[in-house]
Amino acid sequence: MFRILRSVAALAGAGAIAAASLAGPAAAADYPTRPITMIVPFAPGGSTDLVARLVAAKMGDALKQQVIVENRGGAGGNLGATAAAKADPDGYTILMATVATHALNPALYKKLPYDAEKDFAPISLLVNVPNVLTVNPNFPAKTVQELIDLAKKDPGKYAYASSGNGSPLHLSGELFKKLAGVDLIHIPYKGSGPALVDVIAGQVPIQFDNLPSSVEHIKAGRLRALGVTTKDRVASLPDVPAIGETLKGYETYSWNALFAPAGTPPEIIAKLHDAGVSAVNDPTVKAKLAESSAVVVGSTPEELAAHVKSELAKWAPIVKDSGAQID
């Protein structure tokens, strides 16, 4: 009798497995049948939120389901990233990630509640957002080389502002210091806005900032741009050189990429990828992104996976050298 029951149980289990295996592709074929949540791991109003809302609307059109942006800010992006990592891998929760969540935080935090590679399925690197090195218009340096010369002449005399300890902009400054061999004092602020106010007022002479935050101040003459942090010059400020033109090997930028929880079926990843890439290449979206100096990429999932690996390797030693660490 026991053997019969065990055989029945085994057959039932096999049937359940078979049914699940059939349901998976079927579910993927029908996907999506309800709204999708796109988690933004930062507060509303920032550059990541801007990109997410532009992309979500167009992805919804392509997928014929609403893509709802949900802001879950906190802990430098960790709260939102963790929520996405722990979500069901069914394609109904995705993450608009950044260089912070997937390259800096793994080096900054002693205990990170997610693994930037193992806990996520890459979808697409959507856009790169340049940073910029600016100075108060009264500051004597008019070029990157003049700034380096001044800093070398008087080590520790000059300070630069950033949006906070461990932020991409703080670490952009640390990479600059390392490659230029200069000593600049870091002044962390609670966001780019307060830092901008003090640099424009002359309280701090130098700043590393996201270009979208600073570009109008640069065009109005309230700030002088010495260089953009990307490898090449940007279309919105064609006369401003890339820092790498003077400082060989220098390149930093912020980026936004889509991820799903690890284990999301490949067929669903493919649909999300196509919708995301189509969204950033929509003429209206592309024009709005260009206004914010964001550069469209639209990578494959494999290219995004390789990008994360290279970014982790790049930023880990920079974070270590900066001494920034968060418990």
Output the pLDDT for position 82: 98
User: For residues 208 and 163, what is the distance between their CA atoms, to the nearest angstrom?
Assistant: 8
Q: Name the one residue in this structure whose structure tokens are 């990479």.
A: 175
Output the pLDDT for position 187: 96
Q: Which residues contact 155 (CB under 8 A, 6 or more apart)?
A: 182, 183
User: For residues 39 and 68, what is the distance between their CA atoms, to the nearest angstrom?
Assistant: 8
Is the separation of the CB atoms in 290 and 128 below 8 Å?
no
**DSSP sequence for 188-241:** E-SSHHHHHHHHHHTSSSEEEEEHHHHHHHHHTTSSEEEEESSSS--TTSTTSP
Assign 282 to helix, strand or coil: coil
Output the pLDDT for position 76: 83
Is the separation of the CB atoms in 268 and 260 below 8 Å?
yes
What residue ranges of the chain have pLDDT lower than 70?
1-27
Output the pLDDT for position 14: 44
36 exposed, middle or buried (CB, 10 Å; 0-12, 13-18, 19+)? Answer: buried
- The Cα diameter of the chain in Å comes to 92
Output the pLDDT for position 165: 83
pTM: 0.79
Output the pLDDT for position 27: 66
Output the pLDDT for position 24: 52
Q: Could you report the per-residue pLDDT of 213-247, keeping only the tens digit for each?
A: 898 899 999 999 999 999 899 988 999 999 999 99
Output the pLDDT for position 26: 54
Q: What sign has the CA pseudo-torsion 19, 22, 25, 27?
A: negative
Backbone angles phi, psi at 318, to 5 degrees: -70, -45
Output the pLDDT for position 3: 44
Q: Name the one residue in this structure whose structure tokens are 């820092």.
A: 243
Q: What sign has the CA pseudo-torsion 104, 106, 109, 110?
A: negative
- DSSP class of residue 326 equals B
